[in-house]
Structure 1
Amino acid sequence: MAVYTSLTDSDMRALVADYYLGELVSFQGISGGVENTNYFLTTSTGKYVLTLFEEFEFDEVPYFLDVVAHLKHKGFNVPAALIDIHGERLRVVKGRPAIIVDCFPGEGLEQTSVKTCRQMGSALAKLHIAGEDFPEQRESHRGMAWWHATSASLLPELDSKQAELLQSQIAAFDDFIVEYDALPKTTIHGDLFYNNTLFDGENLSAIIDFYNACYSWVMYDLAIVVNDWCSDLSTGELDMDKYRALMKAYCYEREPNADEITAWPHMLRIAALRFWLSRLEAWHGAKHDPERLAQQHDPQEFQRILEARVRFVPAITEL
């Protein structure tokens, strides 16, 4: 269970008392996350989610809350922070920044389908359009400095094949920046894996976990989604039915320009590289802590996806 900061019944009751949420009925740690601590809270007024931020300091969190508030104002089902009795949306709990949000109906997907991919493509395009007028342009906390520092620190941990793949793709990324940095950007989710959505059956009910949001290339965010939603994780290859459904729905709502179409194969490789790197970083960082290691995602899944994208990427024009 990914609960890094443990809270007692008295801790929870004291916290809930500072909100307009009635009386605490029960609480339960949420498994599955790897970056933050999350709890389900059930009170006499409903069900909520408490998040304690384990990687961000207090002054870093308001940006993400502002992104979500902006998208909620635009009509998206997203988890905006609730206001406490003191008029604050961000608290400190056990030394960590913390928020409480509404718990949306629906459940996480066990796997994607053509129908859920189609819905995600449409929703993602609308999300990108909605993010264009968000005023703050924050760079990713996993930006260029992180890419280079992380890849350099990981190289001694990799076998020769992995090291060659990593070095070649970092070099390709550096070349990409020189040629394509002027591609359209917007406020992106940055981590819209299918486990960061809720579905009521096969109908999208909410998009959650915006804590990798930043101002970046639109097509990079689309590539992140395609790599997760449309890949066979055992081989890394694209499921073409899911891929076509998602991409056609996206392009119906937002048509990529000529430069974005040309850059698309690079974007899919860059998005795969980013998550291979972050999973390797987490995996090797936790290897001496068996409990934390068990909570990490397998880096080899994204190594396979990256290798598959190096071999072949279908052009957008083929849709």
Structure 2
Amino acid sequence: MAVYTSLTQDDMLALLAEYDLGDLVSFKGISGGVENTNYFVNSTQGKYVLTIFEEFEAEEVPYFLDVVAHFKKAGFNVPAAIFDQQGERLKSVKNKPAIMVDCFNGDELVSTSANACQQMGKQLGLLHKVGQSFPDQRPSHRGVAWWQATSQSLNAQLPEDEAELLAEQVASFDTFLEQANTLPMGTIHGDLFYNNTLFDGDSLSAIIDFYNACHSWLIYDLAIVVNDWCTDRASGNIDMDKYEALITAYRAERNLSEEEIQAWPHMLRVAAMRFWLSRLEAWYGAINDPERLAQQHDPKEFKRILQARCESTPAL
């Protein structure tokens, strides 16, 4: 959510005039992430967030807007796109697709707790049940084909030990894929790190940033969440108090199949590998641009997580 596209006061005034959201009071760019440009927009009617998509073409965005609308209709606090005066949700800002959404109360977590993990587990179980009824089945733009191609393209740039670890994990999961066709699937968030939620005090108030949503294994999404929410960052190991709180709450909302239970160690490893790989791709892609490199996440964090999951994984 770094600011890649700069807007002036006149730009924002012109955009807001196309909505029934009151008059502009102030706006401010949001720093933090790496994919899209976001602004807080304060008007006489309320507080909103403008998102400008930096990686997607306009024809790709409606899928994600439909996903969020599906979850909002089911009662989740999610940032659905606001319609303008002409009944349009997708706008063009500086020749890039853009949307305006409500700004929810709450802040990003600095770190997780067992209580936060329990709330996330419950919401994720409910989210997965609702996601199974979403009709469109879009594959992930960072799925199997991507990690196979990207791991090969990065091979020559990586230190030998990292290249070997990555190749080993990709090959291991390729083998697992041959027997993974019975795992329950649905529309998942795909990037539900704790900085993609808001907490109002101790209460989960919203789930945001659905731009990695796709049709995939539900257990894979659970593994993504566990690797982020329940991990000790220094060691990469799982904090079992947080883990048990999250898994217990999840299973209270959605039953796991025997196939999912057996696949769990594979999914924890592949979820770690996927985010290590995406961070490696971004890191090496920005290696000659110091300003851009400073905005990237350190890949070593997910290398530690992957190595820890290769050593041991907790049971479901």
When the two structures are superposed, what TM-score results if normalisation uses the length of structure 2?
A: 0.99
Give the AA of the match of 1:314. P
Partner of 1:300: 300
Partner of 2:24: 24
Whole-angstrom distance in 1 between the partners of 2:170 and 2:256: 25
Unaligned residue ranges in structure 1 (runs of 5+): none
Unaligned residue ranges in structure 2 (runs of 5+): none
Whole-angstrom distance in 2 between the partners of 1:305 and 1:185: 25
**3-state SS, counterpart of residue 204 of structure 1:** strand
Q: How does 1:124-273 map to 2 (within 5 A)?
A: 124-273=124-273
Q: After the TM superposition, list the runs of 4 or more consecutive aligned residues in structure 1 that deviate by more than 3 angstroms.
A: none
Give the AA of the match of 2:222. L
Q: How does 1:45-194 map to 2 (within 5 A)?
A: 45-194=45-194
**3-state SS, counterpart of residue 222 of structure 1:** helix
User: How far apart are 1:61 and its partner, in Å?
Assistant: 0.2
**3-state SS, counterpart of residue 148 of structure 1:** helix
**3-state SS, counterpart of residue 110 of structure 2:** coil
Whole-angstrom distance in 2 between the partners of 1:209 and 1:153: 28
**3-state SS, counterpart of residue 179 of structure 2:** helix
Whole-angstrom distance in 1 between the partners of 2:301 and 2:2: 20
Matched, 1:286 2:286: yes
Q: Render the CA deviation track for 1:277-296: whole Å, top value 9, x for unaligned.
A: 00000011111111111111
Q: Which moved more, 1:269-278 or 1:177-186?
A: 177-186
Whole-angstrom distance in 2 between the partners of 1:32 and 1:108: 11
Whole-angstrom distance in 1 between the partners of 2:13 and 2:97: 18
Give the AA of the match of 2:81. A
Give the AA of the match of 2:44. S
Paired positions, count:
316
Whole-angstrom distance in 1 between the partners of 2:62 and 2:106: 27
Give identity over the alignment, percent. 67
Q: Render the CA deviation track for 1:160-202: whole Å, top value 9, x for unaligned.
A: 1101100100001101110113210010000000000000111
User: How far apart are 1:143 and its partner, in Å?
Assistant: 1.8
Q: Render the CA deviation track for 1:96-136: whole Å, top value 9, x for unaligned.
A: 10000000001110000000000000000000001111110
When the two structures are superposed, what TM-score results if normalisation uses the length of structure 1?
A: 0.98
Whole-angstrom distance in 2 between the partners of 1:163 and 1:136: 36
Q: Render the CA deviation track for 1:216-274: whole Å, top value 9, x for unaligned.
A: 00000000000000001111000010011000110111111100000000000000000
User: How far apart are 1:153 and its partner, in Å?
Assistant: 0.9
Give the AA of the match of 1:148. Q
User: How far apart are 1:42 and its partner, in Å?
Assistant: 0.3
Give the AA of the match of 2:32. G
Give the AA of the match of 2:123. A
**3-state SS, counterpart of residue 173 of structure 1:** helix
Whole-angstrom distance in 1 between the partners of 2:33 and 2:41: 16
Partner of 1:277: 277
Whole-angstrom distance in 2 between the partners of 1:207 and 1:60: 21
Whole-angstrom distance in 2 between the partners of 1:52 and 1:306: 32
User: How far apart are 1:155 and its partner, in Å?
Assistant: 0.8
Whole-angstrom distance in 2 between the partners of 1:20 and 1:230: 42
User: How far apart are 1:147 and its partner, in Å?
Assistant: 0.9
Contact 2:182 2:259 in 1 (8 A): no
